[in-house]
Amino acid sequence: MKIPLYGKIIIGLILGIVFGIFAASNGWNQFTNEWISPFGKIFISLLKLIAVPLVLSSLITGVASLSDLQKLSRIGGKTIMIYISTTAVAATIGLVAVNILQPGDKLPDDMKQKLQSSYQDTASGKMEAAQQMKERTALQPIVDMVPQNFFNAASNNRNMLQVVFVSIIVGISLIQIGKSKSKPMLNFFESLNDVVIKLVENIMILAPIGVFSLIADTITTIAGDDINKVFELLGALGFYMIAVIIGLILQTTITYSAVLKIFSKMSLKKFYKGIAPAQLLAFSTSSSGATLPVTMDRCEKELGVSEEVSSFVLPLGATINMDGTALYQAIAAVFIAQTLGMDLSLGAQSTIVLTAVLASIGTAAVPGAGIITLVIILEAIGVPSVGLALILGVDRILDMLRTVTNVTGDASVAVAIASSEKN
Ligand code: ASP
């Protein structure tokens, strides 16, 4: 029997969990670090390696194939509108979940103090990083989108929006110079695009091993030399985690089903089956950026999204659309306030929705970025940012889960836009 790719990835995931727990309980941390983790690092590096050429080649060929430029602005407008609406819904779901479950009131006092003292230093590091972000002016994100030098932009995956910007203006200029002049360059990018897509497929052969190694590494890193600490943390922050998990499940089942129902005829089964490998990868890497090549590949091959839509909607989504992150931030902000005994007014709660949408847009598509931008929300509602120390211990686990929602959200919007454009 031939096992499908997502089946193999699940096997890798389960074996990774089993091995990780075994290694952490038997003091095999150094062995895991030296002999297992490198395979995960290689796998992530390979994915990151192809992200820039993939976005560049597919977006340039995608834009250049558009017959009219009006279509581009229409797709752009629709995409950004749906992205912002789904993120606002996510933050609202988070608020409802945390207000109903009240996880902050269930944390015992001695645990509160313990958490605060053990994570104080890490929390101050995150607060410094957030301070640097906050000093940016309102138009700075737009200024940052325009690079001064293309090679600089392409040399760092964090500059994905700059690469998107360059690809769009190059694609538009290719249309303007006419077919005969643009042909040689287009041929080059089309061929580059085919090569990169083949590379994605080849790299995905390694996915089960990569996922095994990443999960084993995550577990041993969180557990340190005492796996019992993990169980203690899970127990203490259990209600908070349950609130986030319920919220993420509601967002993925209700909001994305609604998006698919309203804009397309695709069945949920087909959607989730098609996108499953990307979700599993998002879970293991905690990075929507690293998952991007696979999200694009699955949307095009399995869900029938045209290249012109996927190459625009998905890189943009990976950078600015983070529904899972916004939902988590709303819950975390209220949880910290509840734990510190602060009552949040209705005004403060609506500020959370607004700032969570903005903060999630500014969150980088890399592991642990969401907790840095969470500081901005905490400051907006007057909750001391040192409260971060309360949730840091379980953040990696929630990061894995919220990244799955982030990637699923991008894919559902890509399907919606493709259907509404009838391709
Ligand atoms: N890890 C998330 C992502 O890449 C961002 C976050 O930390 O919330 O989508």
Residue-wise pLDDT for 187-243, tens only, equals 999 999 899 989 988 998 999 999 999 999 989 988 887 788 778 878 889 999 999
| Tokens linked to 295 | 């999200």
| Ligand 1 lined by 285 (C-beta under 6 Å) | no
Task: Give the CA angle between residues 2, 277, 363 to the nearest 5°.
Answer: 170
- Residue 363 is classified by DSSP as S
Please give the distance, rounded to the nearest whole angstrom, from the Cα atom of residue 77 to the centre of ligand 1.
24
Task: Domain ranges for the chain, please list them.
Answer: 5-420
Please give the distance, rounded to the nearest whole angstrom, from the Cα atom of residue 180 to the centre of ligand 1.
43
pLDDT for res 308: 87
pLDDT for res 423: 65
- The continuous run of DSSP H or E covering 350 comes out as helix 346-361
pLDDT for res 212: 96
pLDDT for res 131: 75
Nearest CA to ligand 1 atom 6: 370
Mutate to test the pocket of ligand 1, among 287, 294, 320, 327 (most ligand atoms within 8 A of CB): 287
In Å, what is the CA distance from 197 to each residue of 145, 172, 301? Answer: 26, 23, 10
- How many other CB atoms sit within 10 Å of the CB of residue 30? 10
| Ligand 1 lined by 294 (C-beta under 6 Å) | no
pLDDT for res 41: 94
Task: Give the CA angle between residues 405, 244, 400 to the nearest 5°.
Answer: 45
Kindly report the CATH number that applies to the domain delimited by 5-420.
1.10.3860.10
Q: Cα separation of 132 and 354, whole Å?
A: 20
Please give the distance, rounded to the nearest whole angstrom, from the Cα atom of residue 329 to the centre of ligand 1.
11
- How much is the pTM? 0.88
pLDDT tens digits for the chain (423 residues)? 788 888 999 999 999 999 999 999 999 999 999 999 999 999 999 988 998 998 899 889 888 887 677 888 899 999 999 999 999 999 999 999 999 999 988 888 877 777 777 777 777 777 777 777 767 777 887 898 899 999 999 998 888 889 989 999 999 999 999 889 999 999 999 999 899 989 988 998 999 999 999 999 989 988 887 788 778 878 889 999 999 999 999 999 999 999 999 999 999 999 999 999 999 999 999 999 999 999 999 999 999 999 989 999 999 999 899 999 999 999 999 999 999 888 898 899 999 999 999 999 889 899 999 998 998 899 899 998 888 888 988 999 999 999 999 999 999 999 999 999 876
| Ligand 1 lined by 366 (C-beta under 6 Å) | yes
pLDDT for res 262: 95
| Ligand 1 lined by 365 (C-beta under 6 Å) | yes
pLDDT for res 230: 79
Q: What is the pLDDT of residues 301-354, one digit of tens each?
A: 999 999 989 999 999 999 899 999 999 999 999 999 999 888 898 899 999 999
In 3D space, the residue among 141, 144, 127, 125 whose CA is nearest the CA of residue 376 turns out to be 127
| Ligand 1 lined by 368 (C-beta under 6 Å) | yes
| Ligand 1 lined by 373 (C-beta under 6 Å) | no
| Ligand 1 lined by 399 (C-beta under 6 Å) | yes
pLDDT for res 64: 87
